[in-house]
Structure 1
Amino acid sequence: MTRPVDAPGDGELLPQVRIRHWGRVVAGLAVLAVLGLLFQAISRGDIDYASIPALLTQDVILEGLVDTIVLAVVAQAGAIVIGTVVALMRTSANPVLRWVSWAYIWVFRGLPVLLQILLWYNIALVFPAFSIPIPFTDAYLLDQPANVIMTGFLAALLGLGLNESAYMAEIVRAGLTSVDRGQTEAAKSIGMSPAKVLSRVVLPQAMRVIIPPTGNDFINMLKGTSIASVIGFTELIHAANALSSRSLAVMETLLAVAVWYMVVVSVANVGQYYLERHYNASIRPTGTRGSVWAKVGGSLRTPPFMRSSR
């Protein structure tokens, strides 16, 4: 039997033909062209880019950066504590606790954050002074005018923290209900107390559901502190306005503030990544771990609210 003319000989390989994805090439070139035009337009703008590094280290900008981080961390920490308590009340068998927690979430999640901050900041119009008397004595544990106690920081902390606590309550409740009910019943059957069931069985498994939205909310909190500028609290936006009003370098100052926001959000992204990897084994890397700087670089390339797939 003769071999077909077109068949390759013994030991020969068929020729490999690469598939050409012309659509990807065209799309990539189009995106690069748009980016090039955008950078060209930005470079022609009347912006003194050389002055931005010096603006990053101005005293008022650094003060605003510290105040922004402190306000965001304290408000988020308080929101987590209050939200956890409210979430436990929502899952309680006591109908009074359930209805009170539902009303709490309904009120603080329904009102705008700016309105809540303004209400707290102007609380002196309703209560001129805060007094806490000591029972059976004429002394007072606290007796101060409301304007003295309700500073800009405290008003922003209450407005941001209480608003966020309502969202945290729903996040924690979703995490608690994600744990199979049979596990809690099994833990109780071996004599574990409700507190131990919550701390050793439910919460460790619920954390993988709680951590991602909590990290996103903390990033929102970092940026949401800018609302406190309306009451004169010196966060980054208020600091930028104060500095630009003197130097008249408005765009340069705003770009410097934008750089600090991106740095802080990127650091928060790194922290969120490690927390998620700690509580969720499915996203832990199976190969080489890579250096911390590689993780930081990957976080800088990842937009906010998105988790890196590395």
Structure 2
Amino acid sequence: MAWNWQVFCKETTTGETVTGCFGRGGDETYLNWIVSAWGWTLTVSLLALLVALLTGLVIGTVRTLPDKPWLVRLGNAWVELFRNIPLLVQIFLWYFVIPGIFPVMKDVPSIVLVVMALGLFTSARIAEQVRAGIQALPRGQRYAGLALGLSTLQTYRYVLLPMALRIIIPPMTSESMNIMKNSSVAFAVSITELTFFAMQSGEETAAPVEMYLAVTVLYAFSALVINRIMAFIEARSRVPGFVAAGGMAGGH
């Protein structure tokens, strides 16, 4: 099979091959387009991850409050709601249904709606990990904080969460990679990210194999970079001697 990688040097409007592969004077090549699509994929992923981390941290924390059962029930309901509705359905709900109920949302850019849908969907999974991280800590840490005169909020802020967040970095690595891959659903609402690019350019150029292979390489490269970044963070923040089952190992 003959590969036609020169297709990336063609202009998207005229189909003419451009020297150097990058368009000039407003003319865009398919190489310009895929770089732009990659940028949109990373933008959606990073913004959605920020929403997921902030929301998941709050929801996961309130699910461990011993004296607030109503907050625990609300947190559990949040997790079950967002975890059990398919992501694509949630995208459509944010894009078609919610603006119909709240007309003010009709002027919100599509990327914001996708970021919210993807971020809240992932927040349910992160909330589970935060809850598990807090509950993996010895109970004595909570009691020690309270015995020292710290409030419940201060105990979580200064004692429990710093430890819990450090021990959930490995599963957070998977979620960070998943949110980047799940950003591909943004094509359903016409955001020109990588999957949208592959579908559209493959039809225009009659070279879908080259387009999908290039997109696959960019997804794999992005996931690898995320993995390495998270591995570096894990290595720098690892808790020496911690046993994930819920205790501290005997150490040196």
Q: TM-score, normalised by structure 1?
A: 0.66
Alpha-carbon contact 1:207-1:279 (below 8 Å) kept: no
Once residues 125 and 85 of structure 1 are traced to their aligned partners in structure 2, the CA distance between those partners, rounded to angstroms, is 26
1:57 CA drift (Å):
7.3
Which segment drifts farther, 265-274 or 240-249? 240-249
- Check if 1:86 corresponds to 2:59: yes
- Check if 1:216 corresponds to 2:216: no
Deviations 1:216-268 (A, max 9, x none): 01101111111111111111010122222222211101111111112211110
Alpha-carbon contact 2:41-2:183 (below 8 Å) kept: yes
- Check if 1:233 corresponds to 2:215: no
Equivalent residue number for residue 101 of structure 1 = 75
1:128 CA drift (Å):
5.8
Equivalent residue number for residue 42 of structure 2 = 69
Please list, as runs of the form range in 1=range in 2, the aligned pairs for 1:1-310 lying within 5 A after superposition: 45-48=1-4, 58-92=31-65, 93-123=67-97, 126-127=100-101, 129-130=103-104, 146-149=105-108, 151-281=109-239
1:52 CA drift (Å):
6.7
Once residues 125 and 198 of structure 1 are traced to their aligned partners in structure 2, the CA distance between those partners, rounded to angstroms, is 37
1:281 CA drift (Å):
4.9
Once residues 78 and 125 of structure 1 are traced to their aligned partners in structure 2, the CA distance between those partners, rounded to angstroms, is 20
Alpha-carbon contact 1:215-1:272 (below 8 Å) kept: yes
Cα distance 1:223–1:121, how it changes in 2: closer, same or farther (>3 A)?
same
Once residues 178 and 52 of structure 1 are traced to their aligned partners in structure 2, the CA distance between those partners, rounded to angstroms, is 51
Once residues 197 and 61 of structure 2 are traced to their aligned partners in structure 1, the CA distance between those partners, rounded to angstroms, is 39
Alpha-carbon contact 1:79-1:162 (below 8 Å) kept: yes
What SS does the aligned partner of 1:233 have?
A: coil
Q: What residue ranges of structure 2 are gaps of 5+ in the alignment?
A: 10-20, 23-28, 242-252
Cα distance 1:281–1:85, how it changes in 2: closer, same or farther (>3 A)?
closer
Once residues 76 and 163 of structure 1 are traced to their aligned partners in structure 2, the CA distance between those partners, rounded to angstroms, is 10
1:193 CA drift (Å):
3.2
Deviations 1:13-69 (A, max 9, x none): xxxxxxxxxxxxxxxxxxxxxxxxxxxxxxxx3433566796997121111111111
Once residues 63 and 102 of structure 2 are traced to their aligned partners in structure 1, the CA distance between those partners, rounded to angstroms, is 34
What SS does the aligned partner of 2:50 have?
A: helix
Once residues 77 and 265 of structure 1 are traced to their aligned partners in structure 2, the CA distance between those partners, rounded to angstroms, is 17
Once residues 281 and 183 of structure 1 are traced to their aligned partners in structure 2, the CA distance between those partners, rounded to angstroms, is 15
Deviations 1:48-94 (A, max 9, x none): 35667969971211111111111111111111111111112211221
Once residues 232 and 221 of structure 2 are traced to their aligned partners in structure 1, the CA distance between those partners, rounded to angstroms, is 17
Once residues 209 and 162 of structure 1 are traced to their aligned partners in structure 2, the CA distance between those partners, rounded to angstroms, is 22
| RMSD over equivalenced CA pairs, Å | 2.3
| Bigger radius of gyration | 1
